Amino acid sequence: MAVYVYRFGGQRRKAFTVAYPRPWFGLTADTEDELHPFAQKLGLNRQLYRPRTVGGLEVPLVGHYDLSEAERNRAIAGGAQPLTTREHAKLLKERAAALGIRL
């Protein structure tokens, strides 16, 4: 059982500009029973939780909280394990397949 932090995909520098948006991260866990208390310790409001959806319908997979870079750093200092975007996608696909959910 663990809590994870990952960077949202699709956040790249725009060509021919100096603009670089600050990255956003996701906080998730193996279970919601782990995720919500951890998020509360970080000072995140439960209303910020985003359940996992497929085609607009909520599915029985753990969702996430959006984090800024500073919140991500606090989460890691508090014991969250950092994952790459690919590692998170692989983990999510494995869990979905085990439940018979097609992402």
* Selection from 35, 38, 66 nearest residue 50 by Cα: 66
Structure-block tokens of residue 30 = 């193996």
pLDDT in tens, 10-46: 776 666 666 666 789 999 999 999 999 999 999 999 9
Domain segments of the chain as ranges = 3-11+21-98
Which of 91, 96, 15, 93 is closest to 59 using CA atoms?
Answer: 96
Model confidence pLDDT, tens digit, residues 61-94: 999 999 999 999 999 999 999 999 999 999 999 9
pTM, two decimals, is 0.86
